[in-house]
Amino acid sequence: MNIKHKVYTLKNFGDDRGSLIPIEEGNNVKFKVKRVFYIYGTSNNVRRGIHANKDSQFLMVVISGSCKVLVDDGFKREVIELNQPNQALYLDKMVWKEMYDFSKNAILLVISNQKYNENEYIRDYDEFVRMVMKKKEIANQH
């Protein structure tokens, strides 16, 4: 199992009136929720993200439509397609992410444990890999 990201199913409390999915701190989201943003109206040829975060963890849910998310922990990359509103992708800090192949109606909801802070963004992939390697080296010394 990859500890840096995880896809899981959110419980749907729907009934004959339709669906209802709560996202609640301490329940189906483990971190302290400090920020919510959503991305929509994205052209199919657009690639977003393309960065890693030193501190932010994320929970991503495509509440309408679909998109793909490339996740890379510096060692391994994986592409995850999000196409169900009850499907959540958790991303730990220090994960390189790229979101692409947005469907026309895609709404990507993102929840984070950090407020927006440009200083914690790593936008250079080589720098990201160098930081991951350095962290590993330090961990191996202990």
Q: Which residues bind ligand TYD (CB under 6 A)?
A: 35, 37, 48-49, 51, 116
51 is a catalytic site residue:
yes
> In whole angstroms, how close is the CB of 107 to ligand TYD at the nearest point?
14
> In whole angstroms, how close is the CB of 30 to ligand TYD at the nearest point?
20
Catalytic annotation, pick one of 51, 54, 68, 93: 51
Our CB check for ligand TYD shows the closer of 10 and 39 to be 39
CB 71 within 8 A of CB 93: no
Our CB check for ligand TYD shows the closer of 74 and 102 to be 102
Judging by beta carbons within 10 Å of its beta carbon (0-12, 13-18, 19+), is residue 95 exposed, middle or buried? buried
Rounded CA separation 67/76 (Å) = 20
Rounded CA separation 12/22 (Å) = 8
Our CB check for ligand TYD shows the closer of 35 and 68 to be 35
Tokens of 68: 């793909």
Q: Give, as one character, the DSSP assignment of residue 27.
A: T
The set of catalytic residues is 51
